[in-house]
């Protein structure tokens, strides 16, 4: 009971001091002793006030959020839409950069081979099968495209030849089709071995080069290019790399396995060779 009386008296003294300090502050009076006491009380009370102030702000923000949840959700939805829009813009910029680089490579290639007259085309369809691998391009009769015109990739590798021409589009028989045959030669200066490169069934990566003489100088790693011995193909279009060589026809000739430079899965645009100097 005595403890409660002491506490009660202490609280009354504190309240009296606070009241006195308030009165002095109101009338602009300053008493040194009470000023010191005021500072002590201020330092004691400030953390408590700060705690309750922070608690009030937290509760106030919580209730504000509950009362304005629709507005907050609307703002969130708007921000998500803006983020999605920015992501689409970034993707568009990357796509434009990609196409710009590829078109630049196309133009550079045309500068490197001025004897080729070419026309650019975009692949619009694929129709691979076990017996013929075809692509459809967006160039046709209106673009002066003709059957048997050679088709090369944007970086100059042999892709195939035009086998059908429509008004606005054409079909291209790919180099890896079993029906495809092209005269080829080893690019190495001390070889110049000549043969025929032919597509294989169910093989999109490798062709076979046969009709090589038994003593032809050909080895793994040799670059194979078009021979230019027919009127349909310019000389020197890259075809692929020799992967292996073996004897054929009971040792009377040789044949080589050629890994094609062309990749059917990455063909998106091509150049049609419309004219060339043999």
The token pair that represents 224 in the structure block? 């194979």
Query: Which residues are CB-neighbours of 160 under 8 A, at least 6 positions away?
Result: 135, 150, 151, 172, 173, 174, 175, 177, 180
Residue 143 lies in a domain: no
- Please name the helix (run of DSSP H) or strand (run of DSSP E) that holds residue 9, with its range, or none: helix 2-27
Note if the pTM is more than 0.85.
no
Which residues fall within 8 angstroms of residue 51, CB to CB, at 6 or more apart?
none
Domain around 210:
181-263
Q: Examine residue 26 and state whether it is found in any structural domain, yes or no.
A: yes
Which among 66, 88, 109 is the end of a domain? 66
CB 124 within 8 A of CB 171: no
Neighbours of 14 (CB within 10 A): 13
Q: Which helix (H) or strand (E) holds 247?
A: strand 238-248
pLDDT averaged over consecutive 10-residue blocks of the chain (278 residues)? 60 63 50 53 55 64 63 75 76 67 58 67 80 87 93 89 93 92 92 91 88 92 89 88 92 92 82 76
177 in Cβ contact with 199 (< 8 Å): yes
Q: Which of 162, 161, 246 is nearest to 212 (CA)?
A: 246
Query: Cβ–Cβ contacts within 10 Å for residue 23, how many?
Result: 10
Q: Could you tell me if residue 45 is inside a domain?
A: yes
Nearest to 266 by CA among 178, 204, 203: 204
Answer yes or no: are the C-beta atoms of 239 and 175 closer than 8 Å: yes
Token readout for 118 is 């070419």
Task: Return the CATH number at 234.
Answer: 2.40.10.350
Kindly state whether residue 16 falls inside one of the protein's structural domains: yes
Residue at 77 is within a domain: no
The verdict on residue 172 lying in a domain is: no
Round to whole Å and give the CA distance between 61 and 26: 33
**DSSP state, residue 251:** T
How much is the pLDDT for 45?
52
Q: Select from 34, 66, 98 the last residue of a domain.
A: 66
Of 48, 66, 84, which closes a domain? 66
Q: Could you tell me if residue 257 is inside a domain?
A: yes
In a domain? residue 84 = no
240 closest CA partner among 198, 277, 275, 268 = 198
269: CB partners within 8 A, 6+ apart: 102, 106, 120, 121, 122, 123, 154
């Amino acid at each position: 009971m005595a403890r409660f009386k002491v506490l009660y008296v202490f609280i009354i003294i504190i309240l009296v001091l606070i009241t006195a300090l308030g009165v002095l502050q109101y009338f602009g009076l300053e008493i040194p002793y009470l000023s010191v006491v005021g500072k002590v009380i201020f330092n004691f009370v400030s953390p408590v006030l700060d705690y309750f102030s922070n608690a009030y702000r937290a509760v106030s923000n919580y209730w504000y959020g509950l009362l304005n949840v629709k507005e907050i959700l609307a703002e969130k939805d708007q921000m998500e839409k803006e983020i999605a829009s920015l992501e689409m813009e970034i993707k568009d910029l990357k796509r434009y950069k990609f196409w710009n680089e590829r078109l630049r490579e196309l133009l550079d290639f045309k500068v490197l081979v001025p004897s080729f007259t070419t026309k650019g085309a975009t692949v619009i369809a694929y129709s691979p099968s076990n017996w013929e691998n075809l692509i459809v391009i967006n160039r046709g009769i209106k673009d002066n495209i003709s059957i048997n015109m050679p088709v090369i990739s944007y970086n100059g590798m042999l892709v195939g030849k035009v086998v059908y021409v429509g008004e606005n589009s054409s079909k291209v028989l790919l180099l890896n089709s079993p029906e495809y045959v092209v005269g080829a030669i080893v690019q190495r200066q001390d070889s110049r071995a000549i043969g025929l490169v032919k597509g294989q069934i169910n093989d999109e990566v490798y062709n076979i080069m046969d009709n090589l003489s038994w003593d032809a100088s050909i080895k793994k790693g040799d670059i194979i290019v078009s021979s230019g011995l027919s009127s349909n193909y310019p000389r020197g279009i890259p075809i692929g790399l020799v992967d292996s060589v073996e004897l054929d026809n009971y040792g009377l000739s040789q044949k080589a396995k050629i890994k094609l430079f062309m990749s059917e899965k990455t063909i998106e645009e091509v150049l049609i060779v419309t004219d060339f100097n043999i």
